[in-house]
Amino acid sequence: MTLLTTLALAAAHAGSGDEILARMDEAMTRGTDYAFEYTAVTEEPGKSPRTMEFDLELQGDKRLVGFTAPGDVKGTRVLVLERNQMYVYVPAYRKVRRVASHVTEQGFMGTAFSYEDISTARYAPVFEAELTSETHALWHLELTPREGVDTPYSRLEVDVDKTLVLPVAARLYGATGEHVKTLTSTDLKCHEDVCAPMTMKMVDHSRGDASTTISVKSWTVNTGLPDSRFTVRELQRGE
């Protein structure tokens, strides 16, 4: 039985919104580890487009971002150990600093993604989910924060692909209920049973529809990244 056949059979038994969200989290973190090379283009009204290149390594909830271009950000690295524990290494100062919780809503390196957006690896620990509707291809979930969880979003509307159980679109709402961002994920591809979008576009409606489009240049999975790769000590090396 092929992967797609297995997933299609599973899709026939949707379950509750929380069950779908848990399956989505599992699909997004199925690999033991991931390594991506990305190009990111940010466009904002009145400004010239800005292109950055970076590497992203993931292991469970942990992720390490390393910028390789342009020159003014080259060597900057960001380590996420969990949603509320992030560190930045700035080569000009050769120091590691912790990202304060009050800046997590700000744009990540000038992009339309925030620190909150890039640090959330799994959604079920943060949000409760309700299955509001579905089509032949998609489940439509409404996510609201779990009690006691601190998040800048009051609600998310997420469209989940039934075949691969991955999110393909999300509409993000701010604390007062305004529609602040829209995320789309396209060109889903797989390495065996591990799948990911090759293009992600975030539009920030609070910044005049400024957008960042992230495109995969290359990616690998299950390469055996060591645990030591995701430590503050390793980040301090600045390599």
Whether residue 74 lies inside any domain: the answer is: yes
Please give the Cα distance from 182 to 163 (Å, whole number).
22
pTM: 0.91
Whether residue 53 lies inside any domain: the answer is: yes
Residue 19's domain comprises 13-233
Write b or e for each residue in 101-129: b if 16 or more Cβ atoms lie within 10 A of its Cβ, otherwise e.
eeebbebbbbbbbbbbbbbbbbbbebbbb
Task: Report how many domains make up the chain.
Answer: 1
Whether residue 206 lies inside any domain: the answer is: yes
| CATH code for position 207 | 2.50.20.10
Please give the Cα distance from 239 to 230 (Å, whole number).
13
Each of the 239 residues of the chain gets a pLDDT tens digit; together they read: 455 544 554 555 568 999 999 999 999 999 999 999 999 999 999 999 999 999 999 999 999 999 999 999 999 999 999 988 999 999 988 899 999 877 777 889 999 999 999 999 999 999 999 999 999 999 999 999 999 999 999 999 999 999 999 999 999 999 999 999 999 999 999 998 999 999 999 999 999 999 999 999 999 999 999 999 999 999 987 65
Whether residue 190 lies inside any domain: the answer is: yes
| Site of tokens 């991955």 | 166
Whether residue 1 lies inside any domain: the answer is: no
| Site of tokens 């199925």 | 30
Whether residue 49 lies inside any domain: the answer is: yes
